[in-house]
Structure 1
């Protein structure tokens, strides 16, 4: 008996019996939202039959194929089409021509469907790490998620990233092990990986009947019955007794499921200790409670391509994932500080998933369409109606909703209103991704929590080949892509006067270059990829700088004393006021900090931005006439540069986590290729015919790797690359020399 079960259960035994626990659990599941929010029963009934879910996974785990089956079995589409458009049509959720050509999801797509009387909003997200912002903003607004894992490859690098994103936004998930028809499939190994690599308690609720080519159905562990999927597309589910050869395995896995639940759920732990009978409903309730608490994930199994296990996954979505009223959604409200008449502070408030309350909604994704800007909106509270007037709490502007639609990939359905808990889209509103909209009738100064946006790691210099005819479309395309994708950045190099686009990787930028040609008819000249290096310091260094400028009349004077030091995490930048007395008036501190942050933009070694540094101001001097904000800003910049050069500065390069999958016969060649690119091999495994290599490689060494990989593996290998961290560049001499030559040329 597990110690945790016994310890928890003994405390509970003195207070409640098992029967009391069961009745309490039943009441809490059905009435929790009503008690918390005191909502009208009609609104509560609607919410209880509503799910907002996302499908997330590592690249090539079968997300889009799974979504296609879900839409088919729920009657949303009339025929199944395959990824890459092999049949000339392509999967419904990959509506972009580039997606169908490359066989990958580039932009997340939303749809809605119904299953067993329940409305389900689904967002299919990309698997490639270059488009990770699509996963971030989808999980930001969803209530639950499906983590899809390949039955052969299991937990991969992007699986870890998706897991971190789900934990960041507190999203409960069910796990679906897909591709059990593939050679080398082993679901039990994958469950072990989920527990070891993701740190998540998980247990199977299905057992596959056969594996690889022999996959014919699944066994429902909870109901103890075999399920077979008949018909041309597996649309008919047939229930049969469990085959004799699986009886022993069923008993073992059912016992393991109950024991795992007993570890994470007090109620089932109590019943388990007292050896009370545990019904199928008790198990379902325990799974739901533990899933909503994010302490457990039920593992369902099947093969989307072979039309196996998808209908039971739909049942699991409805049974185990939360409805909108069961998620705690927070917003920030500006209120007057207690005891003050003019000071404002922000406080967190909990929103009620109630359609009768004042409207609060979040714009989480933007798209440009032939009708104008399409804004995807999650409604957290209240009701949004066509023709309503809204307030954008960021800009304070009043706007009208001219059109309201429900999305089905790239198809639209006109609707008149959308209620709390729903996801819809609006036309004709100019806004940014992450803006909060509230009702103009009852406006409140409120904003939803911000979205995590990772830094760009790669840049390209681009310009139109035909400047005279393409410049307008070029500017229009860049503005659109920046609005739609927060990880896509554009700036003008002040020295070369080139337009620089930055993003999450080589593929990310290639896609945007290709989209400019296809959608805006702008053919670009693309310069060599540039790596986003950084600079930092390794020692503490003092500065004592006096800025003087006299040109007749009032001049400039400011003196600053302090030091620079590295921050603990090596990434963040901090400004600290350690002044004692009034040698530097407090009114100049904002100008000093502004100068410090300006100086961070260009390091002394290579001209790249500076990170991982803290500036501390200890003392200074002023002049009664000549001291002003400009003088202190200049003193801050020059003091920073003085100390930076004496603090043993170093150059940092972005290091990527690179995962390569290919047939095992090429594993030695691939390891050698990564080593030549200064890569460090972290792990190497093989499963049947395929092997996987985990490595860490400097980004500057990864250019052209996709071509090399195809050549080395005869087109059978694939890789994913994800930013890991910036590390010290061993030999920055070439970068330093290039920067010196550039500065010298600028002075001539």
Structure 2
């Protein structure tokens, strides 16, 4: 329990949303308030050449989208904040889903004009399955959008959230005057200069105070009084314990691009968000206050620094204290490893750390020892539960377009597959390499990264595959009876396990009927 104070001051959370809701912009402004950066990047501005701090991969800078989870830590008001900025695009959802296993709460960003979008629905369902506490930030109030009451209804209907607005907007678009904070009992006046100063905040404990009329005008003041009165009739009082249990979701309004409403969100967040929570393994529950260190790998990223070709495993510390140069048990390999240069993150900027506590994310230099889901502990082998694996849905042959760079291509494919965003299959009949992904945009990202990070070029060729099914059988003769006649449909994955590449659901059902002894597995995570 010696780490109690360090554990209780940590807040580890993810920011999730549909693409273009302003998630990365919000991350930037949180980092600004935390003093972690001095200038925010403009993700899509052609006038400002700086790019978002959290979008550090070359393709992210070019496309203006996030395609990989970024980890950023900073200190704010005595708390250690760990932000995980996740991809919004559905083709990269598996990275986001895995990231959600490493956080204790989330902030969901909603575009005021578009409301709840499809990817947000999927991500919130994943959070609800884990009872993860959710705060909602309704963004882009400087633009004309949906009515605030309608948005609250939409959050409840589409996301199945019990919302409690802790701030309330005064107008929107060109008529946006500011936000009344129900949580702080104060009025935040909007000015589109991107800087929120103390002069813009008016303490208002009583909305009937005539100072309200002077600051925002009589008509808007009266509208605000009526709407806040309505809120107090419709929505219950905020109860902290209900939020921690995932039963209610506070809602805030603001404009991240203008730095407005972000400080109020951050101040409330560090006040109410949970400190590190227990984790579940196959044998027991891990309490963050346990003395012995434990943690798991939720992400692997090749080429964090292309100049050094380094590969990092992202480890969420779950209990105890992680210490540099101390031996830890790698549960899957069954042997002890020690790490001389563990790193903490500020997007792609890293610094070596001597120790880390539950809630922290540590980067470990990896020479191929780690897979996603691997665990580290002091003595007892552990296997953490709830880390999702994915079956590919799209497939293409990958062909080398430069025979002189075959070695670079092979190395690039090998390292990128370890990140868990795609899988490699080798056809046993002709030896051709097949890449399987969850989303089509992954092929573009892989091709781009091979070119720019490994100096290897490739092209894609179509292949008709409906599903990849790993298969096992205790009877070796039955195994061969199934596999041998179908050699053109059989491949091996990176671990040399056999995979059946079926062209249709019908074909798969027929094989399941004809070979009941064969066990088909629809993800690569199974006990072989």
What's the TM-score once normalised by structure 2's chain length? 0.84
The answer (yes or no) to whether the contact 2:42–2:49 under 8 Å persists in 1 is no
**In 2: Cα distance, 1:118 partner to 1:313 partner:** 15
Residue in 2 that maps onto 1:380: 318
1:501-580 aligned at under 5 Å gives the runs 501-528=435-462, 530=463, 532-533=465-466
1:469-488 aligned at under 5 Å gives the runs 469-484=404-419, 486-488=420-422
Residue in 1 that maps onto 2:426: 492
| Alignment root-mean-square deviation, CA | 3.0
Query: How far is 1:611 from its partner?
Result: 4.7
Residue in 1 that maps onto 2:389: 453
For the structure 1 residues 377 and 149, does the alpha-carbon distance in structure 2 shift closer, same or farther, using more than 3 Å as the test?
A: same
Query: How far is 1:492 from its partner?
Result: 2.2
Q: Are 2:279 and 1:329 equivalent residues in the alignment?
A: yes
SS in 1 for 2:141: coil
Residue in 2 that maps onto 1:69: 29
Query: How far is 1:77 from its partner?
Result: 0.7
The answer (yes or no) to whether the contact 1:402–1:428 under 8 Å persists in 2 is no
Residue in 2 that maps onto 1:629: none
CA-to-aligned-CA distance 1:197-220 (integer Å, 9 cap, x gap):
111111321111220122232111
Query: How far is 1:143 from its partner?
Result: 0.3
Query: How far is 1:230 from its partner?
Result: 5.8
Query: How far is 1:374 from its partner?
Result: 1.2
1:153 to 114, 119, 137: 114
Gaps of 5+ in 1: 1-38, 262-282, 334-348, 536-571, 576-587, 617-635, 641-748
**Structure showing greater Rg:** 1
The answer (yes or no) to whether the contact 2:72–2:347 under 8 Å persists in 1 is yes
1:239 to 201, 217, 235: 201
**In 2: Cα distance, 1:152 partner to 1:489 partner:** 37
Residue in 2 that maps onto 1:202: 163
Residue in 2 that maps onto 1:267: none
SS in 2 for 1:154: coil
CA-to-aligned-CA distance 1:577-600 (integer Å, 9 cap, x gap):
xxxxxxxxxxx9655885698599
1:319-468 aligned at under 5 Å gives the runs 319-324=271-276, 327-333=277-283, 349-354=284-289, 357-369=291-303, 370=308, 372-428=310-366, 430-439=369-378, 443-467=379-403
For the structure 1 residues 50 and 194, does the alpha-carbon distance in structure 2 shift closer, same or farther, using more than 3 Å as the test?
A: same
For the structure 1 residues 515 and 481, does the alpha-carbon distance in structure 2 shift closer, same or farther, using more than 3 Å as the test?
A: same
**In 1: Cα distance, 2:516 partner to 2:135 partner:** 55
SS in 2 for 1:525: strand
**In 1: Cα distance, 2:99 partner to 2:126 partner:** 10
SS in 1 for 2:30: helix
CA-to-aligned-CA distance 1:115-157 (integer Å, 9 cap, x gap):
2221110010010011112211211010000011110111111
The answer (yes or no) to whether the contact 2:321–2:358 under 8 Å persists in 1 is yes
The answer (yes or no) to whether the contact 1:152–1:186 under 8 Å persists in 2 is no
Residue in 2 that maps onto 1:701: none
Q: Are 2:256 and 1:256 equivalent residues in the alignment?
A: no
1:140-289 aligned at under 5 Å gives the runs 140-228=101-189, 232-237=193-198, 238-240=200-202, 241=204, 242-243=212-213, 244=218, 245-247=220-222, 249-250=224-225, 252-253=227-228, 256-257=231-232, 259-261=234-236, 283=237, 286=239, 288-289=240-241
CA-to-aligned-CA distance 1:537-556 (integer Å, 9 cap, x gap):
xxxxxxxxxxxxxxxxxxxx
The answer (yes or no) to whether the contact 1:461–1:527 under 8 Å persists in 2 is yes
The answer (yes or no) to whether the contact 2:17–2:109 under 8 Å persists in 1 is yes
**In 1: Cα distance, 2:509 partner to 2:229 partner:** 51
**In 2: Cα distance, 1:298 partner to 1:156 partner:** 19
**In 2: Cα distance, 1:638 partner to 1:71 partner:** 56
**In 1: Cα distance, 2:506 partner to 2:455 partner:** 34
The answer (yes or no) to whether the contact 2:132–2:245 under 8 Å persists in 1 is no
For the structure 1 residues 139 and 300, does the alpha-carbon distance in structure 2 shift closer, same or farther, using more than 3 Å as the test?
A: same
For the structure 1 residues 594 and 408, does the alpha-carbon distance in structure 2 shift closer, same or farther, using more than 3 Å as the test?
A: same
Gaps of 5+ in 2: 205-211, 491-499, 519-528
What's the TM-score once normalised by structure 1's chain length? 0.60
For the structure 1 residues 607 and 203, does the alpha-carbon distance in structure 2 shift closer, same or farther, using more than 3 Å as the test?
A: closer
Q: Greater helix percent: which structure?
A: 1
The answer (yes or no) to whether the contact 1:222–1:254 under 8 Å persists in 2 is no
**In 1: Cα distance, 2:460 partner to 2:67 partner:** 21
The answer (yes or no) to whether the contact 2:466–2:504 under 8 Å persists in 1 is no
**In 1: Cα distance, 2:501 partner to 2:483 partner:** 13
Residue in 1 that maps onto 2:39: 79
The answer (yes or no) to whether the contact 2:140–2:256 under 8 Å persists in 1 is yes
Residue in 2 that maps onto 1:317: 269
Question: Alignment length, in residue pairs?
Answer: 486
The answer (yes or no) to whether the contact 2:110–2:136 under 8 Å persists in 1 is yes
SS in 2 for 1:136: helix
Query: How far is 1:610 from its partner?
Result: 5.2
Query: How far is 1:488 from its partner?
Result: 0.1
The answer (yes or no) to whether the contact 1:455–1:487 under 8 Å persists in 2 is no
The answer (yes or no) to whether the contact 1:532–1:608 under 8 Å persists in 2 is no
SS in 2 for 1:420: coil
SS in 1 for 2:55: coil
**In 2: Cα distance, 1:233 partner to 1:614 partner:** 62
Residue in 1 that maps onto 2:524: none
Query: How far is 1:186 from its partner?
Result: 3.0
1:121 to 57, 82, 96: 82
The answer (yes or no) to whether the contact 1:110–1:121 under 8 Å persists in 2 is yes
The answer (yes or no) to whether the contact 2:168–2:182 under 8 Å persists in 1 is yes
**In 1: Cα distance, 2:396 partner to 2:515 partner:** 29
For the structure 1 residues 247 and 136, does the alpha-carbon distance in structure 2 shift closer, same or farther, using more than 3 Å as the test?
A: same
